Structure 1
Amino acid sequence: MYVDFPSVSSRCTAIPRSMALCYNIGYNEMRIPNLLEHETVAEVIQQSSSWLSLLARECHPDARIFLCSLFAPICLDRFIVPCRSLCEAVRNSCAPIMACYGYPWPEILNCNKFPVDHGLCIASISNETSPSRRMPRASCRDCELQESSSTKEILDTFCANDFSIKIRISKKNMTASTLFDFDMDSRLEVLKHGPLIKAEIFPKLQQWLDLDATCVHNIMRGTRSGVYIISGEVQDNRMIINKAFSWQKKNKSLQSAMRRWKMHRCRS
């Protein structure tokens, strides 16, 4: 049984809009201190923000529910903890993705601390057998900068994805939560917009920059600024980037693909 309950009496407080991990999760108030013994809202916001990049990699559909049950437990007359099976399902899918970037599954989330499933703990919501379930989308090879691709491979990438966009990205600064802040030039060159309306592309790309810092960092590879061709899918009205090419004059294949794209016919 999970026994690390806060040692002081808890209180109910509104989940602030600035807590991106759990705001609009399905309830409006959380208990402070929480199950991870964070004693202030500011501490909860700062600590929870470091999980946003993992969440954006879509490693498990119940990852947000699991994390919010700990960071922002629902304000009832008692703490409702996650079931062990929920912890194990999220860990088994997400720990390998964390390992890609050098982060082990933390001991504070040791699944043996949580109770075996019963009616008073939070069980997995996703249906294991549902054909619509995406498990998992992320991998160590996701969202990497592509190198030495031929013109045909680049055109095939444009065809296979929902959108392809030329964009300038700049790194602003490192935050206290070890994530990077990024900015982008508002002048975009949209090669393909798929199901998106052109007017909504910029704000959705801004959402990507804000929530998927790991992906952006992989693409930029330590540079402060650069121009990239990014391609990806639209999932649940969000832009998920999975391929990127660095725009350089010496990249003849990419320049050739850009010139040929307007007249190119994708195979059905």
Structure 2
Amino acid sequence: MRSSSEWFWRMIRLAVTVALMSACRSSEYEDVVGWRHDGYSSGRSYFRPPQCVDIPDDLRLCLGVGYDQMLLPNLLEHESMAEVKQQASSWVPLVHKNCHPNTQVFLCSLFAPVCIERPVYPCRWLCEAVRDGCSPIMEAFGFPWPEMLACDQFPQDEVCISMNQSNTTETIKPTGKPYVCPPCDNEMETDTMLDHMCASEFAFKAKIKEVRRENMDRKLILQKRKKMLKMGNLKKKDLKKLVLYLKNGADCPCQQLDNLGNQYLIMGRKTDKQYLLTGIHKWDKSSKEFKKAIKKLKTYKCPTFENVFK
């Protein structure tokens, strides 16, 4: 018996094949040389045709996507693999949040489009479903849904990449795990902590003095003593009265905020009006994963989120 994941990707390949057959009969697409879909008007045209290239193992966003080759330039007009990897790496944490079952399918259809003769874009409703499921997660980290993925630029009445439309309105939560506020994901896994760190502008070790509810947010008042790990754009004068907000986190569970006696690795970033909590992990030196993450922080090169989420 085939596993559910094998069946899932078999359906994707079947859908892409059908889309290709339809596209070959359609006059709405330009030839592959200098192609550019009329509905996608965000950038430049190409002077050379896209080439089929192998999907590299370090393109983490599309790891296990179900096919081995992609078009380059891609549908987001990235012309080099280095650019694709740099931009795509910023989206890996969102896929890990399981905010929608088709997040990887949608993103990889753009970052690493399947290698077929003519480009096929994701359907508009697929974009809208992923956006509606994932934008609240992104907002919790202080990032808006980016203009480069504005859903009204994608096709809705022509050939496009689609999945099971009946499932797109559901926000899927990790199997066997209760839902928690996104910054409070307490998995002591190195990659999870590094993802939180990279989505943050500053990080430090501290205790929490008090937690209050303020409208739909939670307000964290910190102890004065802090050990900085990543200063970012913070200044020393900011540290003394620093207050963090758990965005839209008034009612969602956050185990770390139930025990204020512990030391925590606290991460955050500044928005226009507030300092947001983007990650919080118990300071646990007995955890091998935690110690590994703290050690890697010194040399770890983060993707540049600001270049992507505009």
TM-score, normalization by structure 1: 0.54
Identify the residue that residue 47 of structure 1 maps to in structure 2: 87
SS at match of 1:43: helix
RMSD: 3.6
Amino acid at match of 1:7: Y
Q: After superposition, what is the alpha-carbon deviation per residue over 1:164-209, rounded to whole angstroms, capped at 9, x for unaligned?
A: 98x6xxxxxxxxxxxxxxxxxxxxxxxxxxxxxxxxxxxxx34544
Contact 1:84 1:117 in 2 (8 A): no
The Cα shift of 1:121 comes to 0.6
- Does 2:136 correspond to 1:101? no
Identify the residue that residue 109 of structure 2 maps to in structure 1: 69
Contact 2:141 2:183 in 1 (8 A): no
In 2, the alpha carbon distance for the partners of 1:57 and 1:39 equals 28
In 2, the alpha carbon distance for the partners of 1:59 and 1:46 equals 22
- Does 2:136 correspond to 1:79? no
Q: Quick one: structure 1 residues 140 and 222, their matched pair in 2 at CA, closer, same or farther if it must change by over 3 Å?
A: farther
The Cα shift of 1:101 comes to 1.3
Identify the residue that residue 122 of structure 1 maps to in structure 2: 161
SS at match of 1:21: helix
Instruction: Work out which of the residue numbers 12, 15, 40 in structure 2 matches 1:3.
Output: 40
Identify the residue that residue 33 of structure 1 maps to in structure 2: 73
Contact 2:126 2:168 in 1 (8 A): no
Q: Write out aligned runs for 1:1-268 (5 A).
A: 2-4=39-41, 6-8=45-47, 9-118=49-158, 120-125=159-164, 127-128=166-167, 135-136=172-173, 141-144=181-184, 205-209=189-193, 213-214=195-196, 222-223=204-205, 243-244=255-256, 248=262
Which sections of structure 1, spanning at least 5 residues, go unmatched? Answer: 146-163, 168-204, 226-241, 255-268
In 2, the alpha carbon distance for the partners of 1:90 and 1:243 equals 27
What is the percentage of aligned positions where both structures have the same residue? 37
Contact 2:140 2:183 in 1 (8 A): no
Q: Quick one: structure 1 residues 75 and 95, their matched pair in 2 at CA, closer, same or farther if it must change by over 3 Å?
A: same
Amino acid at match of 1:20: R
Amino acid at match of 2:144: P
Q: Quick one: structure 1 residues 103 and 207, their matched pair in 2 at CA, closer, same or farther if it must change by over 3 Å?
A: closer
In 1, the alpha carbon distance for the partners of 2:40 and 2:157 equals 15
Contact 2:133 2:171 in 1 (8 A): no
Q: Quick one: structure 1 residues 142 and 102, their matched pair in 2 at CA, closer, same or farther if it must change by over 3 Å?
A: closer
SS at match of 1:222: strand
The Cα shift of 1:136 comes to 4.9
Q: After superposition, what is the alpha-carbon deviation per residue over 1:145-166, rounded to whole angstroms, capped at 9, x for unaligned?
A: 8xxxxxxxxxxxxxxxxxx98x
Count of matched residue pairs = 173
Contact 1:95 1:105 in 2 (8 A): yes
Q: Quick one: structure 1 residues 103 and 139, their matched pair in 2 at CA, closer, same or farther if it must change by over 3 Å?
A: farther
Which sections of structure 2, spanning at least 5 residues, go unmatched? Answer: 1-37, 206-227, 230-253, 264-281, 283-310
SS at match of 1:12: strand
The Cα shift of 1:114 comes to 0.4
Contact 1:143 1:243 in 2 (8 A): no
Q: After superposition, what is the alpha-carbon deviation per residue over 1:28-48, rounded to whole angstroms, capped at 9, x for unaligned?
A: 001111111111001100100
